[in-house]
Structure 1
Amino acid sequence: MSARRSARMLRLSLLPLWLGMGVLWLLHWLPLPLQAALGNALGAMFARLPGKRRHVVATNLALCFPDVPAARRARWLRQTFQASMRAALEHGVLWWGSEARLRHLIRLDNPEAVLGDGVRPVIWLAPHFVGLDMGGVRLSMDRQVASMYAPSKNPASDWLMLRGRSRFHAPVLVAKSDGIKPVLKALKQRLPFYYLPDQDQGRLNAVFVPFFGIQTATLSALPRLAKLTGAQVVPVITRQLPGGQGYAVRFYPPWDDYPSDDLDADVARMNAFIEERIRELPAQYLWLHRRFKTRPEGEASVYEK
Structure 2
Amino acid sequence: MGLRLLVGFVWLLSWLPFRVITALGWVVGSLIYALPTSRRRIGEVNLRLCLPDMGEAERARLLRRHFVAMVQMLLEYGYGWFASRERLKRLVRIEGLEHLRALDGRNVILMMPHFTGLDLAGLRVSLETPLVSIYSVQKDPWLDAFFRAKRLRFGTGIIFARQQGTRPTLRALKDGYRLYYLPDQDFGHRDSVFVPFFGVPAATIGGLSRMAAVTKAAVLPCYPRRESDGYTLVIEPALDNFPSDDIVADATRMNAVIEAQARRQLHQYFWLHKRFKSRPPGEADFYGR
TM-score (norm 2): 0.97
What amino acid does structure 1 have at the position aligned with 2:248? D
Contact 1:116 1:254 (8 Å CA) reproduced: no
User: Does the CA-based 8 Å contact 1:147-1:174 persist in structure 2?
Assistant: yes
Q: Percentage identity across aligned positions?
A: 43
* 1:120 Cα deviation from its structure 2 partner: 2.5
Query: CA contact under 8 A between 2:129 and 2:156: conserved in structure 1?
Result: no
Whichever of the two has the greater Rg, that structure is 1
- Asked if the contact 1:223–1:263 (Cα under 8 Å) also holds between the matched residues in 2, the reply is yes
Cα offset for 1:43? 0.5
1:253 shift after superposition: 0.7
2:115 corresponds, among 114, 129, 134, to 129
Match of 1:143 among 129, 148, 151: 129
Is residue 2:70 matched to residue 1:84?
Answer: yes
Following superposition, the deviation at residue 172 of structure 1 comes to: 1.4
- The equivalent position to 1:165 in structure 2, one of 148, 151, 174, is 151
Instruction: Confirm whether residue 281 of structure 1 aligns to residue 265 of structure 2.
Output: yes
Alignment of 1:177-192 (within 5 A): 177-192=163-178
Offset from partner CA, 1:66-86 (integer Å, 9 cap, x none): 000111111110111100100
Looking at structure 1, the residues matched to 213 and 177 of structure 2 have their Cα atoms a distance apart, in angstroms, of 16
Q: Distance in 2 between matches of 1:201 and 1:27?
A: 33
1:294 is matched with which residue: 278, 282, 288? 278
SS of alignment partner, residue 53 of structure 1: helix
Secondary structure at the aligned position of 2:210 is classed as helix
Cα gap change, 1:116/1:79 in structure 2, threshold over 3 Å: closer, same or farther?
farther
**Runs (5+) with no aligned partner, structure 2:** none
Kept after mapping to 2: 8 A contact 1:234/1:254: yes
8 Å CA contact 2:209–2:243 kept in 1: the answer is yes
Q: How much does 1:28 deviate?
A: 1.0
Whether the 8 Å CA contact 1:116–1:234 is kept in 2: the answer is: no
Decide which of 196, 217, 227 is 1:210's aligned counterpart.
196
Number of the residue aligned with 1:70: 56
Asked if the contact 1:117–1:254 (Cα under 8 Å) also holds between the matched residues in 2, the reply is: no
**Structure 1: any 5+ residue segments left out of the alignment?**
1-14
Equivalent of 1:95, from 55, 61, 81?
81
State the match for 1:8 in structure 2: none
Asked whether the equivalents of residues 116 and 253 of structure 1 are also in contact (C-alpha less than 8 Å), the reply is no
Output the TM-score relative to the length of structure 1: 0.92
SS at match of 2:153: coil
TM superposition shift of 1:116: 4.8
1:247 paired residue number = 231
Question: What is the aligned partner in structure 2 of residue 108 from structure 1?
Answer: 94
Q: CA deviation at 1:301?
A: 1.2
Amino acid across the alignment from 1:217: A
Matched position secondary structure for 1:114: helix
Change in Cα spacing, 1:293 to 1:230, as seen in structure 2 (3 Å) is same
Runs of at least 4 residues of structure 1 off by over 4 A?
A: none
**Deviations 1:105-149 (CA, angstroms, capped at 9, x unpaired):** 111122212245334210000000001001100011223210111
Out of 199, 206, 214, the position equivalent to 1:220 is 206
Distance in 2 between the 1:199 and 1:241 partners? 25
Aligned-pair CA distance for 1:98 = 1.3
In the aligned structure 1, how far is the partner of 2:73 from the partner of 2:27? 13
